[in-house]
């Protein structure tokens, strides 16, 4: 099966092309076709995994050469697909979760006038995402990277009739582009210093051989690592480039689940894990990753607490969870980060799709204040959402407990005690915001004012499958040292050593569970017990509430510091520089010749005799000239 790895990205590409041209005629079949192709890709992916584990443990990598892409002088780039534990893990997440979301969309998007186009974009996204994770060189990865950005733009703005959606799409594209530009510079730098873009040549641990042979000095590693990190920060919505993700919720809910929770936003985590050689060499870059992740995790967890829109809660939650992943990457706990990535893909996709199910039942209502008591009418949605919530809060034995606990444990056991405490605070807020969401939406008083209904099976079955993943996903990696997934990934990311210092695993687990329980308890007391009037509390703390709901006013700060000056510079260039100076030069040349001509044309009198005289004078001049010569 390893040789047919190209089928994995090719199948969604087929779906894209077919649905692009025939989507309108296929009707509902468009969704079925897209889902079947994704399931096919997932099946091929499983076959590839099966073959990969039969390879000897020390050489679990297979590169499938498809064709030479660019070959100019010493610059060679091929379209090569890399199969190794890390890429296979990512591939299975993309195809597996992606397939479920495709199936769910058959029901969710039913009746949309651009039904076929939706699935064609969704398939195109999967193609680019799979290219990204399977790429064997930086350029092909960048191709996928930009491609998913494009699909993100198209899908956020899928309902482009709404100005909010169109603006959110633009914002997402522009903000991530800031990071992408740095990343491209980093890739160019890789080529300049290493003479190649192939992972096999570049991502070799230099160990202690700096300055010898082909290895550039450590400073180069730091610069490249920071440039690549900038790209990862943009794509994974980390501080300070996170502002696009909450707005991206203007897109259809399956898009939020697939692109802005489960897969595309994790591309940054994948990139850092893939290029971890650079970050291991550079302590500075690792520290930056750690701090960015930690700050983002805490920031987004608090901001999520102030959101009233169910999808925006989940969006900030995603940012926070991605922050945890970056935090883990910064501590070189790569396997733990990927483990959280996998479990997060399950439970966050689950929660987004459940939120979509709630919106489906409530005529697209997203305001938590207008929900309540939905558990009565939507039992399946409420159950699966609660499973996802327990997972993200970190309650054992759900998947999130194991992954988050391992990251927290790694923080303590690698000596980052301050960071560990900050992360615990973030974890507390995670449990708090998610229990707030649960209690407001599914329990308490009914504030809907309408008849909600449960969603059709085509939507609830994928939810239940994802719920199984969110509940049992922890089995993949029960322990950081001996877990299945961690062991599988150790070929790429290195094995996790036995903890040398810090508290023991048991104590650490107990502390994380206690923090999660405290968060849920506070959430229950305020929002679930009915003893505290949370609406009154919210009015009393109005300014604080607004501070949180506006995401610490960061959008407004950017608007004042970056957007407003940018707009005035653009206005200056457009209306003053361009109109006065550039246009002035062009028009000035025209006016100059007009003036010259208005003098010169007086020669043309139209009188034949004048021309005859000129003719005569000319002849005389020539005769005189010739006569003088001889």
Partner 1 sequence: MRTPIAYFLVVSAMLFTVGTVGVLVRKNALVIFMSVELQLNAVNLALVAFSRMHGNLNGQVLAFFSMVVAAAEVVVGLAIIVSVYRRRHSANVDDASLLRW
Query: Hey, what are 551's tokens?
Result: 């995401």
Tell me how far apart the alpha carbons of residues 162 and 132 are, in angstroms, rounded to a whole number. Answer: 31
- Terminal Cα distance for the chain, rounded: 97
Q: Please give the structure tokens belonging to residue 278.
A: 């650079």
- DSSP 8-state code for residue 344: H
Residue 309: phi and psi, rounded to 5, are -85, 125
> What DSSP element (H or E) covers 237?
none
Q: Is 421 in the site for partner 1 (CB under 8 A)?
A: no
C-beta of residue 16 within 8 angstroms of C-beta of residue 123 = yes
Q: What is the DSSP letter of 216?
A: P
Least gap, CB of 160 to partner 1 (angstroms): 56
| Of 207 and 602, CB closest to partner 1 | 602
Over the window 580 to 619, marking each residue x when it contacts partner 1 by CB under 8 A and - when it does not, the resulting string is: ---------------------xx-xxxxxx--xx--x---
Site residues for partner 1, 391-410, by CB under 8 A, read none
Beta carbon nearer to partner 1, 74 or 605: 605
User: The dihedral of CA 203, 204, 206, 209: what is its sign?
Assistant: negative
Note whether 51 and 1 are within 8 A (CB).
Answer: yes
Nearer to partner 1 (CB atom), residue 54 or residue 604: 604
CA separation (Å) from 453 to 266, 382, 448, 530?
33, 12, 12, 25
CB of 594 to partner 1, least distance (A): 13
Least Å distance between CB 178 and partner 1? 58
The least CB distance from residue 569 to partner 1, in Å, is 47
Q: Provide the mask over 104-133, with x wherever binding to partner 1 is found by CB under 8 A and - wherever it is not.
A: ------------------------------
Nearest distance, CB of residue 616 and partner 1, angstroms: 6
> Using only C-alpha atoms, what is the Rg of the chain?
30
Q: Residue 562 or 622: which CB sits closer to partner 1?
A: 622
d(Cα 110, Cα 365) in Å, to the nearest integer? 17
Nearer to partner 1 by C-beta: 573 or 616? 616
| Residue whose CB is less far from partner 1, 21 or 611 | 611
What's the min distance (Å) between Cβ of 571 and partner 1?
A: 43
Query: In the complex with partner 1, which residue's Cβ is closer, 501 or 609?
Result: 609
Residues 6+ away with beta carbon under 8 Å from 104:
254, 257, 353, 356, 458, 459, 462, 463
Size of the site for partner 1 (CB under 8 A): 11
CB of 180 to partner 1, least distance (A): 59
Closer to partner 1 by CB, 58 or 601: give it.
Answer: 601
Closest to partner 1 by CB, 54 or 605:
605
Buried/exposed 374-393: b ≥16 CB within 10 Å, e otherwise: bbebbebbbbbbbbbbbbbb
State the minimum distance, in angstroms, from the CB of residue 591 to partner 1.
18
Number of other CB atoms surrounding residue 629 within 10 Å: 6
CA 185 – CA 178 distance, rounded (Å): 11
Show the binding pattern over residues 441-480: x = contacts partner 1 (CB under 8 A), - = does not.
----------------------------------------
- The single residue listed with the structure tokens 């509902």 is 28
| Minimum distance from residue 184 beta carbon to partner 1 (Å) | 58
Decide whether 581 or 615 has the Cβ nearer to partner 1. Answer: 615
Nearest 5°: the CA angle 533, 537, 541 is: 170
What φ, ψ does residue 528 adopt, rounded to 5°? -110, -30
Query: Measured from the CB of residue 624, what is the shortest distance to partner 1 in angstroms?
Result: 16
Q: How far is the CB of 630 from partner 1 (least distance, A)?
A: 18
| Least distance (Å) between residue 615 CB and partner 1 | 10
Cis upstream peptide for 240 (omega within 30°): yes
**Smallest gap from residue 622 Cβ to partner 1 (A):** 15
For the window 56-95, what string marks contact with partner 1 as x by the rule CB under 8 A? Answer: ----------------------------------------
What is the footprint of partner 1 within residues 140-169 (CB under 8 A)? none
> In this complex, which beta carbon is closest to partner 1, that of residue 601 or of residue 629?
601
What is the per-residue binding string for partner 1 in 548-587, x denoting contact by CB under 8 A? ----------------------------------------
SS3 409: helix
Q: Which is nearer to partner 1, 608 or 628 (CB)?
A: 608
Give strand pairing partners of 71.
76
Contact yes or no for 247/171 (Cβ under 8 A): yes
For residues 19 and 79, is the Cβ–Cβ distance under 8 A?
no
Q: Supply 10's token pair.
A: 């090719």
Site for partner 1, residues 481 to 540, rule: CB under 8 A: none
The answer to whether the beta carbons of residues 92 and 39 sit under 8 Å apart is: no
Closer CB to partner 1, residue 575 or residue 615?
Answer: 615
Interacting residues with partner 1 (CB under 8 A): 601-602, 604-609, 612-613, 616
């Amino acid at each position: 099966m390893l040789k047919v790895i190209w089928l994995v990205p090719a199948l969604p590409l087929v779906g894209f092309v077919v649905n692009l041209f025939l989507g309108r005629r296929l009707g509902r079949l468009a969704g079925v076709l897209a889902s079947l192709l994704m399931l096919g890709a997932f099946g091929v992916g499983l076959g590839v995994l099966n073959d990969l584990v039969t390879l000897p443990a020390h050489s679990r990598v297979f590169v499938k050469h498809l064709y030479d892409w660019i070959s100019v002088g010493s610059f060679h780039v091929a379209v090569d697909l890399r199969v190794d534990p890390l890429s296979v893990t990512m591939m299975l997440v993309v195809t597996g979760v992606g397939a479920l979301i495709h199936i769910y969309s058959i029901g969710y998007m039913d009746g949309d006038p651009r039904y076929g186009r939706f699935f064609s974009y969704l398939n195109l996204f999967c193609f680019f995402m799979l290219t990204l994770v399977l790429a064997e060189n930086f350029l092909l990865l960048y191709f996928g990277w930009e491609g998913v950005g494009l699909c993100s733009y198209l899908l956020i703005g899928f309902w482009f009739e709404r100005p909010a959606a169109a603006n959110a799409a633009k914002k997402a594209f522009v903000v991530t582009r800031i990071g992408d530009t740095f990343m491209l510079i980093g890739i160019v730098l890789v080529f300049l210093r290493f003479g190649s873009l192939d992972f096999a040549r570049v991502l070799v641990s230099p160990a202690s051989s700096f300055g010898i042979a082909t290895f550039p000095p450590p400073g180069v590693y730091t610069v490249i690592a920071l440039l690549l990190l900038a790209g990862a920060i943009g794509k994974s919505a980390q501080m300070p480039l996170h502002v696009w993700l909450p707005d991206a919720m203007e897109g259809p809910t399956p898009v939020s689940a697939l692109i802005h929770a489960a897969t595309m936003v994790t591309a940054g985590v994948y990139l850092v894990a893939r290029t971890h050689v650079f970050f291991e060499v550079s302590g500075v870059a690792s520290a930056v990753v750690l701090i960015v992740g930690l700050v983002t995790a805490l920031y987004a967890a608090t901001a999520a607490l102030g959101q009233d829109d169910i999808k925006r809660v989940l969006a900030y939650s995603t940012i926070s969870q991605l922050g945890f992943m970056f935090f883990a990457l910064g501590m070189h706990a790569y396997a733990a980060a990927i483990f959280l990535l996998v479990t997060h893909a399950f439970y966050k996709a689950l929660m987004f799709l459940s939120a979509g199910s709630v919106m489906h039942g409530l005529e697209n209502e997203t305001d938590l204040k207008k929900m309540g008591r939905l558990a009565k009418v939507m039992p399946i949605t409420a159950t699966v959402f609660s499973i996802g919530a327990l997972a993200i809060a970190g309650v054992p034995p759900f998947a999130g407990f194991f992954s988050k606990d391992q990251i927290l444990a790694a923080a303590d056991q690698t000596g980052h005690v301050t960071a560990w405490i900050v992360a615990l605070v973030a974890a507390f807020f995670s449990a708090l915001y998610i229990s707030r969401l649960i209690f407001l939406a599914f329990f308490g008083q009914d504030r809907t004012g309408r008849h909600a209904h449960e969603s059709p099976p085509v939507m609830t079955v994928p939810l239940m499958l994802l719920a199984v993943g969110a509940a049992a996903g922890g089995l993949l990696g029960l322990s950081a040292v001996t877990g299945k997934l961690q062991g599988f990934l150790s070929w790429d990311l290195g094995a996790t050593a036995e903890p040398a210092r810090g508290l023991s695993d048991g104590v650490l687990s107990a502390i994380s569970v206690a923090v999660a329980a405290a968060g849920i308890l506070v959430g229950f007391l305020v929002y679930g017990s009915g003893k505290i009037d949370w609406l009154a509390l919210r009015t009393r703390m109005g300014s604080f509430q607004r501070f949180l709901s506006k995401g610490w006013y960061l959008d407004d700060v950017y608007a004042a510091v970056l957007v407003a000056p940018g707009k005035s510079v653009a206005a200056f260039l457009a209306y003053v520089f361009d109109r006065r100076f550039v246009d002035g030069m062009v028009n000035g040349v025209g006016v100059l010749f007009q003036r010259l001509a208005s003098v010169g044309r007086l020669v043309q009198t139209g009188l034949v005799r004048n021309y005859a005289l000129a003719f005569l004078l000319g002849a005389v001049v020539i005769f005189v000239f010739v006569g003088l010569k001889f």
